[in-house]
Structure 1
Amino acid sequence: MKRVLVTGADGSIGRAAVQGLQAAGYDVIGLSLRYDHTSTADRPLVGDARSAKDVAAALDGVDAVLHLAAIPHPSLGTPEEVFENNVAATFNVLAQAGQAGIARVVIASSINAFGVPMNVNEVEPAYYPLDEDVEADIADAYSLSKSVDEQSARMAWRRWGTNVIALRFPLVKTREDLFRFAAMAERDPSMMAREGWAYLDLRDGIRAVIAALESSAAGAHVVGLAADDILIDRQTSDLLHEYASGVPLRRPVRGRDGLVDTTRAQELLGFKPRYSIHDEEDQVVSAVTT
C-alpha cells in the first residue's frame, strides 16, 4: 500500500491524518469541499465526497481510502442536511472504491452511533463499559447517519468484497483542546455522562487510523476507540454513582478507568492508546505499563 485517499482532508482530524500518513511513508491524495488551511497532501483536490465523478477521479492510482468527510455535529445543519450529506458521502465513497477494486477503506464512525449520547430523551446506556454491541436508541439525525454508515460498510463488504473498518471515535482533540473540554466537563460532568466521559488524544486517533489502514482483517468491522481513562480528573466510580447510578457496570473500575471497552481495537488492529490527558506532557501510558 503506497497511496491513500483522505476525504475531509481539511478537517481537524483530516489535516492530522494527512501529515501522519505522510510521516509513515505514504503518498496522500486529499479531497475536500474547500481548503481553509494550507494542505500538505501530495495532491490536494477540491471536490465533493457525494459526487461519483469527483471521488472516482480522486481514486486514480489509490491503494486505500480514509473517509472522514462529514457534517460532524447535528447543530451544523438541519436534520435533513446532516443525514443526507453524511450517508450519501459514505455510500458514494464505498461504492466508488468498491467498483475500483480498492481492498481497504477506513471510515469515521462515532461513539454516537448507538444514539444515547445525543438522545433528546432521558435515556441511559444499557451498560458500561460501552462496546460495539451496546443497544441503540437513536433520536437525532447525526447519530442515525453514523449508524447507517456502519450498515453501508457491511453492504460494501458483501457487494464488492471491500474490507471496511468503521472507527467509532469519541471526542478527538489535540492535548491543548482536550484541556479546554475537560474544564467544561468538570463544571458540569453530566454533559458527558452518557458517553462515559470518553476522549482520545488526536495523536492516538491518527495511530488508530494507520493501524486500521494497515490491518489485514477481512470483512466489515466496527471498532470502538477511547483513551484508557476518562476526561475528568475524578474517580470513575464516584462519577458513576453520581451521574449514572442506574447503569449496570459489567466490570469493576478503579481510579480514572475509562468506560469504553477497546478490546476489539487491541485484538483486531493491535491498537492501544498511548496518551492520557492526566499524564505529564507527552508521557506515554505504555511507558508506565511496559
Structure 2
Amino acid sequence: MGDSLRRVLVTGAAGRLGGAVLGELAACGVAVTALVVEEAPGSAADRVVVGDARDPGAVADALDGVDAVIHLAALASPEVAAPEVVFGTNTQATFVVLNEAGRAGVGRVVLASSLSITGLPFARSTPRPQPAYLPLDTALPSRIEDPYALSKQVDEATAAMMHRRYGMVVPALRFPFLGDRERLAAHAARLARDPASGAAEVWSYLDLRDAARACVMGLTGREVAGAPVLFVAAPDTLSATPTRELLAAHLPDVPCRVDFAGHVVPIDLAPARAVLGFTARYPYPVEGRVRCEK
C-alpha cells in the first residue's frame, strides 16, 4: 500500500473516526497530512495543517503532495448547532474539499456519509417514520426531516458531480453508530434498557477500527469506480435479542425482503463486500451484550 499511496490528506483528523484513520494509515506505512481546526499534541500525522475545511486556501495548502483524501470533517449531528449552521458547514466543507482535490489532480476521495441519510434517526414527526422495507439499501426512499441528514444527501450528490467534473473516484460510506469497545458497550446497555430506541438505526453499529479500515479500503480497492454509495456496518446487531424478535416488536409493519436469522443486521452489506472487499473484523462480543427487556 505504501508504494501506491504516498500521502493521504485526512480532514477532520482530530475527531473520533479521524484518529482511528490516522492510526490505520500509519500502520500501513502511509504518510499523512491532517487538516484540523485546532492543533493537538500526539497526532499520528507527520504533517498537520490548521485550518477550516470550508476554506479553499487552507484546503489547497493541505493538499500539497497529496494523492488521495479521506474527508471526515463535519458537524456530526443536527443537535450540535443551529440548523443552518449544520447544513451549511457540512455541505460547504464537502464541496470545497472535493473541488480543491479535483483541481489538484487527486484521483480518489473517500467521503464519510451516514446511515442517518435515511432520515429516520433524527426524525421528529409523530408517529415516527419507518423504512419502506428492509434491509436498508441505497434505493430506500428517503424520509429526511433534519439538516444533518439533508447535508449528507447533498454531500453524496456533490461526490457524484465531482466525479463527472474531474473524473475522481469518490466512494461515499454510510456509517452507522461508531465506537471503540467502551462506547459500544455503553450503547449496547442503552439498547438493552430501551430496545425501541435502536429501531431507527436498525440496531446497527461498527467498531472504529473497522470504520478506519473501510476508509482506507475505499482508497485502495481495485473495484471502486465512479461515486458509489455503500452502507458499511458490522454484520450483526448490537443487541442480544434475535433480529426477528426486534423487528416483530418494534418495526412490525415494515416488509422484510429477506429472512433475518440470528442477529443479522437488516442492512444490505453486499455492495460493500463486492466493491471494497470489506467485512468487519471486530464484531462486538456476544457475551458482552444484555438481552433487551420486552
TM range (shorter): over 0.9
Select the residue among 256, 263, 267 that pairs with 1:256: 263
**C-alpha contact (below 8 Å) 1:6/1:14 kept by paired residues:** yes
Q: 2:215 is matched with which residue?
A: 209
Q: Which residue of 2 aligns with 1:2?
A: 6
Q: Which of 74, 92, 95 does residue 96 from structure 2 map onto?
A: 92
The answer (yes or no) to whether the contact 2:11–2:70 under 8 Å persists in 1 is: yes
Amino acid at match of 1:64: A
Residues 183-202 of structure 1 mapped to structure 2, 5 A cutoff:
183-202=189-208
Distance in 2 (CA, whole Å) between partners of 1:184 and 1:38 is 32
> Residues 1-290 of structure 1: matches in 2 within 5 Å?
1-36=5-40, 38-121=42-125, 122-216=128-222, 217-279=224-286
Contact 1:10-1:37 at 8 Å conserved across structures: no
Question: CA separation of 1:83/1:37 partners in 2, compared to 1, >3 Å: closer, same or farther?
Answer: farther
Normalising by structure 2, we get a TM-score of 0.93
CA contact (8 A) 2:230 2:271 kept: yes
Give the RMSD, CA atoms, in angstroms. 1.2
The 1-side partners of 2:257 and 2:206 are apart by: 22
Deviation string for 1:122-172 (max 9, x for gaps)? 210111111122110110000000011000000000111111010000001
Gaps of 5+ in 2: 289-294
CA distances 1:185-211 after superposition (whole Å, capped 9, x unpaired): 111111110211010011111111111
User: Could you tell me which amino acid in structure 2 is paired with residue 103 of structure 1?
Assistant: G
Q: Return the offset for 1:38.
A: 2.6
The alpha carbon displacement at 1:37 in A equals: 5.2
Asked if 2 retains the 8 angstrom alpha-carbon contact of 1:165 and 1:222, the reply is yes
Give the unaligned 5+ runs of structure 1.
282-290
Name the SS for the 2:170 alignment partner: strand
SS of residue matched to 2:79: helix
1:97 is paired with a residue whose SS is helix
Distance 1:280 1:89 in 2: 41
Contact 1:129/1:251 (CA < 8 Å) preserved in 2?
yes
1:30 and 1:44 in contact (8 A); partners too: yes
Count, aligned residues: 281
Moved over 4 A (4+): none
Equivalent residue number for residue 284 of structure 1 = none
d(CA) in 1 for partners of 2:58 and 2:139?
35
TM-score by length of 1: 0.94
Distance 1:109 1:170 in 2: 9
